[in-house]
Structure 1
């Protein structure tokens, strides 16, 4: 298995696979309430079988080139992750997402990990458009989209049913030429 350093602080990005279901569940249990504020991921991993099933669904997506999931380890502990919830290589479109437990918040881990996977999608897979969807109330996720150089394209009103209510979703995106230009400018 590979690990990509996310800086000098020991944080790493690694594939998150079905055999890691127990570690994934333990991580979800540590951050369940925090993670579940805006996304349903903790609702999909409530016991070992459902955690394994969730990770297996992403193993299938990786095998069919329709999605990916990666964990973020900090000091050897799984503390969050990033993913391509959907990926359509033929259309050149992918939707990135993330989650993080509270102990890892505020360290820039999500932004650094997203830069790695977006760069891979654009440069290696030929993805032209990377989308980011966030609850309009999820200010940290919206801040990540901004740091990634994404453009806010609109709001999908009350489109996301979440734990008994409907939330607005902000749609953000970055296009491959914009991504490359921002990278060149930062160099």
Structure 2
């Protein structure tokens, strides 16, 4: 398995695979309340079977080139991740996302990891538009979108239901020419 260094602090980005379901579930359990404020991962994966099934769905997405999931490890412990929830290479679009347990927040891990996967999507897979969907209440995730050089495209009003509460979704994106220009600068 490969690992990509995310900097001098020992953080690594690696594929997250079904055989790691137990580690993934333990990670979610450590941060369940924090993660589930905005991201339904913690609600979807509540035991080992559901965690394994979730990771298997992403293994199938990787096999069909329609999505990917990667874990972020610090000092050998899974603390979060980034993913392409959707990827359509024919249309050149992908939706990226992230999550972290509270002990890993505020260290720039998601920004660094998202840069790696967006760069791969643009340069290797020919993705033209990478989208970031976020609750307007999730300031940390909005700040990641800004640090990634994304532009706020708009607001989908009342389009999402999370834990029985209807909410809005901000759409942020970066286009391949913008991504390349920012990297060159």
Normalised to the residue count of structure 1, the TM-score between the two structures is: 0.99
Matched, 1:148 2:143: no
Distance 1:157 1:61 in 2: 29
* Aligned counterpart, 1:28: 28
* Aligned counterpart, 2:94: 94
After superposition, what is the alpha-carbon deviation per residue over 1:78-115, rounded to whole angstroms, capped at 9, x for unaligned?
00000000000000000000000000000000000000
Q: How does 1:78-93 map to 2 (within 5 A)?
A: 78-93=78-93
* Aligned counterpart, 1:129: 129
Distance 2:75 2:120 in 1: 24
Matched, 1:65 2:65: yes
Distance 2:62 2:103 in 1: 29
Structure 1 residue 161, shift from structure 2 partner? 0.3
Structure 1 residue 148, shift from structure 2 partner? 0.1
In structure 1, the residue corresponding to 2:177 is in which secondary structure? helix
* Aligned counterpart, 1:119: 119
Runs of 4+ in 1 over 2 A off after TM superposition: none
Provide structure 2 residue ranges, at least 5 long, that are not aligned to the other structure.
Answer: none
Normalised to the residue count of structure 2, the TM-score between the two structures is: 1.00
Q: State the Cα RMSD in Å.
A: 0.3
In structure 1, the residue corresponding to 2:97 is in which secondary structure? strand
